[in-house]
A and B are shown apart, each in its own frame.
Chain A
């Protein structure tokens, strides 16, 4: 948290002036009881109306100056806090972009989003409140005590006892409640989960007739929630009554001590009133301070979570310069895996084990296997999205770890499994592949990706606006655009990670034909579940549970590799050539057709 606050240093002036003006206001407030005392002792006791009016006007004047200084303070505090938020958000966003895939997997995107939004707002709000109140409240509390000492030392001792006592109660109760409130929140989450499950799984629950069990489950969970709420309620409810007793006890003692001093002629009646007023000021401020501090502890937790992200050192470093003798041509690249193993951070078992193969420039390599066999893991090693934990991956004979980031990734066009597009025009999206590409290049890529026709049909062609998440395109259209995007950079290596699953057979075939005829002859990796898509590959890698169980051309594998033969047979049952299902994109089961 402290490290995070360094970002405030750009707003040094505001962060100092804000609290300073706040202190000025507090100082004026502390002056008020003295003025009232003077009114009683001089104005009332001596019947001096002129003096009374003058002093009352002074009170009003103090109010005006107080207003001006607190408005100034609010402005500086807001400026510093908002500026601080802007800087940290910028840093955070920039930093996250340097993290590796495996770090992003470890943290999880939803967590990152919460850090940048919810946590960030909380911290910014707290910085604002702290600048305004963190100094003011203790200042008023201790200021009141010090003023009491200037009025009468002996009577002021009552303050010296009362303040620690009140603080102990206020902070004690609040601190005791924090973990209890957290427990309430956990129990509420459980109740929420129960409700959610019952909605999402309503058909299954009704099919299995679990309604009564679910009601029971809900009642139990909610009883536990209500119990926790009532318990913390009882403890939180202690604060006001206990502080009330302490304050009034202190007032009684104060007046009595004051009476003794007045009787001895050491104190005036007005001064007793002043002491009494100081006493009532401290309680309000102590409660404000305590709730501020509770809020702060929450924000410190948020701040630490943000700092934890900022503290993550990117675990993948790329050399700045290409080493001597690095092939620089953008011709098709050769790929080699030598005894490669991969184990994801935190995973129990290897995702890949001892993979060795080579691909010559311009080859088409097919990768096939069941779910979780390691197909995507394998191709992700080529652009170095993850680092191999054993063995080495070579591109053009050079270990991928020796390439500068841009040099390696610039060679490779990736079409991810999930067809991700971004809000913006089709042109903007395609230019992700190469910011300098002209429309001709874009059209060539679209042509090869079998997307030219539908893009031409869209209003505005390349200028057609894609909605967030590509919602205004069909799955097949999205997929073809992501393929075009990768082709725009004329990659030496093209990786299609199960990227044709939403295409019908004819389009899939035309796409493969077009890829074979690309003038720059990239080395192509096709990950697929369909054996039909790989029939003409130069080499097919068959993966099963992270191991390579077969490698070769289709005909060889059909004879030599059991797993491959099984996959093939499962897809080519009967006399029909293809078993692409009817209505294969599936129905939504919402019953809303």
Chain B
């Protein structure tokens, strides 16, 4: 049952792969044709060499005329074969690399359209590895399949045909004995499997220790713990060494093993061939041709068994990429109208219900009416789901029930792009892209001029530190902000929003990771931005909370209370107890 399931899912993956290769079907046909012709020529050459040797019998008994003709044929067919082979390899490369490119592009474009629900639920590293390494490994397998599988199969069949035509008895010896080398290889592989597993487990253990001790080397040295950790390391190192020796040695027996079998085949063919030659049924030249066939015949067997594992492996990789590609995308909004660019900023949540997983209801039947220019503070203990509201407002997630309206218009009735255009968002988890400071600030408005950009940076209190960077605004920062401090990154993100200043804002206040002076600057910048704009603030600071027009108190994902500071305090509910435990002494 299991096997059948695997087989059928394999078939399905094959179908998808073939469908993508189908685009290049003419190139593929060309490749197969080239493989056929060049392999046939490759097989013909040893036979020609054999005939040539038969022209050279003994002193005074050499047929130079025939010999020259044959040798000419050898050189000519070698040249033609070579040209065809090169062409075939180039074609194969082209197909494999372009198929991988197509699949990767498909995957990347899918990522752009996947709902956040999917992306949030999967580790980034895992998705990256699907798009990059899985696709890469699939490509390698594909390429190897093209170059070695076809030629391998054709070589085996061709050789068999040639050998049978020349001498069925000797051919039988080869056919019976050769698979032995496969058996040997398989035997060693299964026996060493557990050794390799032990080796990689021990290696993993060692890497974990190395990782721990290297990352915290400063603590190790501060406490003079060097010798103790070296002793721990040595203990694992010795164990690794012991199991590594077994794995390395036993696995390295594959080549001697298969070579031994091949040598035995060689000896048997020599014996059978020589006896046949003595009997006069073949010539010494044919024996020579036979011996080189023996070498050619066993090689593709070993290769093909390698290719099969590789293909199996690459199919599994392809399956992971396809799994990503076939995820349902977020609903298309191409036909929807854009939201007006000049919204007033009235936001209504109308009986909204939402949950991440159906079993646990989070927000239920929630209503809120925010008038243009009002400030909404979202407060609650860690992990209470404050970010859920941001997810809904920005339409990173869709509500399950009810509706969110901006200026009376359901946000699902306009394009996502136009909705998001009217929000400025600064998250606590800052994200900057690899590139210059300039590129990062002008992300929302690429055509902004120098003065506008500097004005935005000044308003965000970022200008002074940017100016002190080695190349000022042209300083290139690494992935995710590189060497900038957390506070500086947040100031840059503020500058980025400052440049566009949309009518509505979503702000996530800093927590303790930022020093208080920088935090003060961020506060001032936030204040500057919020003037006259509808703002939603995930609030940590008392001053922000008290100035808010509406406070939403959240607990365990639900909005439990809403109102102004004084009202909520007077209610004596969760807000009041939260306030007393956190702010009062």
Contact = CB atoms under 8 A, between A and B. Distances in A.
- Find the residue from B263, B266, B416 having the highest chain A CB count within 10 A: B263
Interface stretch (B164-172, B227-235, B452-460): B227-235
B15 interface: no
Interface string A179-202: 000000000100111111111111
Interface string B211-236: 11111111111111110111001100
Contacts of B119: 199, 202
A583 B55 CA distance: 94
Nearest to A211: B112
Given A117-B207, A211-B112, A101 B105 contact: no
A416 B222 contact: yes
A591 B127 CA distance: 18
11 contacts: A66-B256, A66-B259, A230-B90, A230-B94, A233-B97, A245-B78, A280-B295, A416-B219, A423-B208, A581-B512, A585-B511
Interface string B277-291: 110000010011001
A36 interface: yes
Contact of B434 (A53, A193, A208, A573): A193
Given A215-B109, A371-B518, A577-B585, A97 B217 contact: yes
A573 B97 contact: no
Interface string B475-518: 00001100001110000000010000000000011011111111
Interface in B514-543: 514-520, 523, 538-543
B466 interface: no
A369 B546 CA distance: 27
Contacts of B211: 113
Given A90-B237, A406-B224, 8 more contacts: A93-B210, A208-B420, A237-B93, A263-B56, A370-B516, A414-B222, A422-B216, A583-B386
B368 interface: no
Contact of A203 (B136, B425, B470, B585): B425
B59 A207 contact: no
B583 interface: yes
A325 B185 CA distance: 73
A248 to B, nearest CB: 4
Given A229-B93, A269-B56, A414-B222, A201 B431 contact: yes
The 3 closest A-B pairs by CB, nearest first: A581-B540, A265-B59, A63-B263
Nearest to A570: B520
A570 B517 contact: yes
A273 B59 contact: no
Nearest to A99: B217
B82 to A, nearest CB: 4
B93 A234 contact: yes
A16 interface: no
A371 B132 contact: no
Interface in A213-262: 214-215, 218-219, 222-223, 225-226, 229-230, 233-234, 237-238, 240-242, 244-245, 247-249, 251-252, 255-256, 258-260, 262
Contacts of A391: none
Given A77-B252, A244-B85, A592-B120, A263 B60 contact: yes
B53 A97 contact: no
B388 A593 contact: yes
A128 interface: yes
Given A197-B434, A591-B120, A97 B517 contact: no
A62 B260 CA distance: 10
Contacts of B264: 60, 63
B245 A79 contact: yes
A220 B249 CA distance: 46
B516 A567 contact: yes
B511 A249 contact: no
B514 A93 contact: no
Contacts, number: 462
A339 interface: no
A469 B208 CA distance: 10
A207 B356 CA distance: 21
A242 B391 contact: no
A311 interface: no
Contacts of B343: none
B417 interface: yes
B64 A259 contact: yes
B570 interface: no
Interface in A540-588: 563, 566-567, 570-571, 573-574, 576-588
Interface stretch (B22-30, B268-276, B305-313): B268-276
A299 B117 CA distance: 44
The CB with the most chain A CB atoms within 10 A, among B124, B208, B240, B515, is that of: B515
Contacts of A255: 49, 52-53, 56, 67, 71
Interface string B237-266: 110110011001100110111011001101
A104 B278 contact: no
A591 to B, nearest CB: 5
A137 B156 CA distance: 27
A208 B443 contact: yes
- The listed residue with most B CB atoms (<10 A of its CB), out of A90, A269, A579, is A269
Nearest to A128: B248
Interface string A495-532: 00000010001000000000000000000000001110
Contacts of B444: 208
A106 interface: no
Nearest to A489: B223
Given A202-B119, A406-B224, A234 B90 contact: yes
Contacts of B78: 244-245, 247-249
B81 interface: yes
Interface in A372-429: 372-373, 383, 385, 405-406, 409-410, 414, 416, 420, 422-423
B274 A78 contact: no
Contacts of B515: 369-371, 373, 529
Interface string A341-358: 000000010000000000
B244 A85 contact: yes
Contact of B252 (A132, A258, A591): A132
B427 A93 contact: no
Interface stretch (B314-322, B376-384, B401-409): B376-384
Contacts of A563: 517
B516 A529 contact: yes
Nearest to A241: B82
A82 to B, nearest CB: 5
Contacts of B152: none
Q: Give the residue among A86, A201, A259, A485 with the most B Cβ atoms within 10 A.
A: A259
A69 to B, nearest CB: 9
B394 interface: yes
A197 B433 contact: yes
Given A32-B266, A416-B218, A582 B388 contact: no
B221 A196 contact: no
Contacts of A588: 383, 387, 429
A584 B386 CA distance: 13
A422 B212 contact: yes
A63 B257 CA distance: 10
A56 interface: yes
Given A196-B479, A229-B93, A371-B514, A589 B429 contact: yes
A59 interface: yes
A197 B479 contact: yes
Given A85-B244, A237-B89, A40 B132 contact: no
Contact of A251 (B74, B226, B234, B240): B74
B417 to A, nearest CB: 4
B45 interface: yes
A303 interface: no
Given A226-B97, A226-B101, A245-B79, A200 B480 contact: yes
Contacts of B546: 574
A10 interface: no
Nearest to A83: B241
A160 interface: no
Contacts of B511: 581, 584-586
